[in-house]
Amino acid sequence: MSAAAAAAGTYTPAAEAGGKRREKREELRRHLAEDADWPRADGRSIHDCRPAFMQTGPTTAASGSAYAEFGKTKVIVSVFGPRESKKAMLYSDTGRLNCSVSYTTFATGIRGQGLENKEYSGMLHKALEGAVMLHTFPKTTVDVFALVLESGGSDLPIIISCASLALADAGIMMYDLVTSVSVSCLGKNVIIDPTSDEEAWQDGGLMVSYMPTRREITQLTLTGEWSDGKITNAVELCMDACSKLCEILRERLKDTAVLEENE
């Protein structure tokens, strides 16, 4: 191909460089599947999560909002409510939680809507409804809108944690904060907080949404190939990581509190 290109008098460096990149990635994939100590693309070990940056209050028009950035994944969640809605007009003892996850057109490498987001809204709802006290806002609705600005892997767990922070910021009564972490099973190794490449290579995936103080799991999603022993280890790994992430969320909420209460 390059001979033909050279004959035509054009130079295409991209094709060759692309080949080298592909080779490097294949090598990384093989190493991650076999070696327990091989560093990942961003230098982490297989048991390290990405450094988390979270902040409350980016959307001033919403009752509560939060922004989360984990490596390349950037998510912003806005919570509106409790407010009236036509669907909730029929009297009911419990309130309604309405979740919606959407991707921006520039979130993934290829322009266009992600296909998984139709499921994500339902999954976000299931993860949160166990923690939110619906009976405290009867006949009204709390709307949770999640927008993924950039998708860098492990999207749904980050959306769930960010939504939990946004709900706390909005003052919705909850039993506990919900944090969520996912792991990928790749060959012999179990990799925590995978990036989008690692997710594409995975043999199986596990996502756990956990309420650390109450020590209860609100949602557990298992896909792909897993062996028994690995599942137990993976679930414990996730729960541990969720507890640590919850500490970060609490720090963030305390910061906002300390700045404001001074009476």
Partner 1 sequence: MSARDLHLRLSQAQRVRLEAALHELHTLNPAAAAAAVNVADNIPVNHEDSILKGHGTSDRDGEVVATLCGVVERVQSLVSVRTLRARYKPEIGDIIVGRVSEIAPKRWRLEINFSQGAVLMLSSVNLPDGVQRRRTAVDELNMRSIFAENDVVCAEVRGYLPDGSLELHASSQKYGKLQRGQLLTVPAYLVKQWNQHFHHLKQYNVDLILGCNGFIWVGEHVVVAENTDVKEDQQKLAMEADNFTPIETRTHICRLANAVRVLSALGFTLTVELIIQTAEASLPSTVEINEMLGAEFYVQTAEREAKRRASSLRKMNGAS
Q: Which residues make up the interface to partner 1 (CB under 8 A)?
A: 57, 63-64, 83-84, 133, 136, 168-177, 211, 213-214, 250, 253-254, 256-263
Q: Would you tell me how many other CB atoms lie within 10 Å of the CB of residue 147? A: 18
User: How many Cβ atoms are within 10 Å of 186's Cβ, its own excluded?
Assistant: 21
Beta bridge partners of 147: 76, 102
* β-bridge partners, 78: 65, 145
List the one residue out of 127, 55, 240 whose CA is nearest residue 232.
240
What angle separates helix 155-170 from helix 228-260, to the nearest 10 degrees? 30
Nearer to partner 1, 155 or 176 (CB): 176
81 vs 205, beta carbon nearer partner 1:
81
Q: Which is nearer to partner 1, 49 or 253 (CB)?
A: 253
Nearest to 142 by CA among 120, 163, 116: 163
Nearer to partner 1, 89 or 115 (CB): 89
Side chain identity, residue 66 = A
**191: nearest Cα among 26, 54, 39, 25:** 39
Between 62 and 183, CB nearer to partner 1: 62
Nearer to partner 1 by Cβ, of 61 and 115: the residue is 61
Smallest separation, CB 55 to partner 1 (Å): 12
Shortest Cβ distance from residue 173 to partner 1 (Å)?
A: 4
Q: How many H helices and E strands in the chain?
A: 6, 9
- We find the least distance from the C-beta atom of residue 177 to partner 1, in angstroms, to be 5
